[in-house]
């Protein structure tokens, strides 16, 4: 049974997350479940406004961190918690693992402070399952360059995305049962097959 499940999708920019998410949502909708597709930073009018600032305005890392957590607080209260309470499947493009990877790994922000903010903002809420789309930063950069104009994060260099990837690896090393690592270097069809296998392994 999937009701009231919180599922997040993580990985560096260009990993192929957006390409897969609708197919996952469709699988559960076809089974008659309510699926709430959402994203961070964002997912509410206030959090989408904060997203615009975080993605496009210059700021220091503490400000950036506080804005992503402020957006998260609003998103949790207005969208995620109510959806889980009524038994929906919440499928969220990025969550707090991204803060540990980008602000912690990429920017070098203090992980202890991130953990404190996580506690204050989430009050214990964690995803039930996280897909980690993992691939070499060089490959992700080539995909992005072919696909779209870069934002503040996507303009960063390979060293930054290598540190972000290490940030994810560190974070997920501490929560192996929550995380399904997906080899994101293969074809979209092969990625989809890995997702299905991870869900089937959980009986979902």
Ligand X SMILES: Cc1cn([C@H]2C[C@H](O)[C@@H](COP(=O)(O)OP(=O)(O)O)O2)c(=O)[nH]c1=O
Question: Does residue 156 touch ligand ADP according to CB under 6 A?
Answer: no
Question: Does residue 116 touch ligand ADP according to CB under 6 A?
Answer: no
Question: Does residue 13 touch ligand ADP according to CB under 6 A?
Answer: yes
Question: Does residue 17 touch ligand ADP according to CB under 6 A?
Answer: yes
Q: Indicate the residue among 2 and 21 with the shorter CB distance to ligand X.
A: 21
Question: Does residue 42 touch ligand ADP according to CB under 6 A?
Answer: no
Question: Does residue 13 touch ligand X according to CB under 6 A?
Answer: yes
Q: What are the C-alpha distances in Å from 90 to residues 2, 80, 119, 122?
A: 10, 7, 20, 15
Q: Indicate the residue among 11 and 104 with the shorter CB distance to ligand ADP.
A: 11
Contacts by 105-114, CB closer than 8 A, 24 or more apart: 105/163, 105/164, 105/165, 105/166, 105/167, 105/168, 105/170, 106/153, 106/156, 106/160, 106/161, 106/163, 106/164, 106/167, 107/61, 107/64, 108/61, 108/163, 109/61, 109/62, 109/65, 113/65, 114/65
Instruction: Round to whole Å and give the CA distance between 103 and 21.
Output: 24
Question: Does residue 76 touch ligand X according to CB under 6 A?
Answer: no
Q: Indicate the residue among 117 and 141 with the shorter CB distance to ligand ADP.
A: 141
The size of the interface with ligand X (CB under 6 A), counted in residues, is 13
Question: Does residue 15 touch ligand ADP according to CB under 6 A?
Answer: yes
Rounded to the nearest 10 degrees, how much is the dihedral formed by the CA atoms of 155, 159, 160, 166? 140
And the tokens for 41?
């930073």
Q: Is 155 annotated as a binding residue?
A: no
Instruction: Round to whole Å and give the CA distance between 171 and 143.
Output: 25
Q: Is 17 annotated as a binding residue?
A: yes
Cβ of residue 1: shortest distance to ligand X, in angstroms? 28
Question: Does residue 131 touch ligand X according to CB under 6 A?
Answer: no
Residues that bind ligand X (CB under 6 A): 13, 18, 39-41, 68, 93-94, 98-99, 102-103, 153
Residues that bind ligand ADP (CB under 6 A): 11, 13-19, 143, 146-147, 187-188, 191
């Amino acid at each position: 049974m999937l009701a009231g499940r919180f599922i997040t999708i993580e990985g560096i920019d260009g990993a192929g997350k957006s390409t897969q998410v609708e197919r996952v949502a469709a699988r559960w909708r076809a089974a008659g479940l309510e699926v709430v597709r959402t994203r961070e930073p964002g997912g509410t009018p206030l959090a989408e406004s904060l997203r615009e600032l975080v993605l496009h305005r210059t700021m220091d890392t503490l400000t950036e961190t506080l804005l992503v957590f402020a957006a998260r607080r609003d998103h949790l209260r207005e969208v995620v918690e109510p959806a889980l309470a009524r038994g929906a499947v919440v499928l969220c493009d990025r969550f707090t693992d991204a803060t540990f990877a980008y602000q912690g790994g990429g920017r070098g922000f203090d992980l202890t402070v991130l953990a404190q903010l996580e506690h204050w903002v989430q009050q214990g809420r964690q995803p039930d399952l996280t897909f980690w789309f993992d691939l070499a930063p060089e490959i992700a950069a080539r995909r992005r360059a072919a696909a779209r104009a870069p934002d503040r994060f996507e303009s960063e260099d390979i060293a930054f995305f290598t540190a972000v990837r290490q940030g994810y690896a560190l974070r997920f090393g501490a929560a192996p049962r929550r995380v399904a690592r997906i080899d994101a270097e293969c074809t979209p069809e092969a990625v989809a097959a890995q997702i299905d296998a991870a869900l089937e392994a959980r009986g979902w």
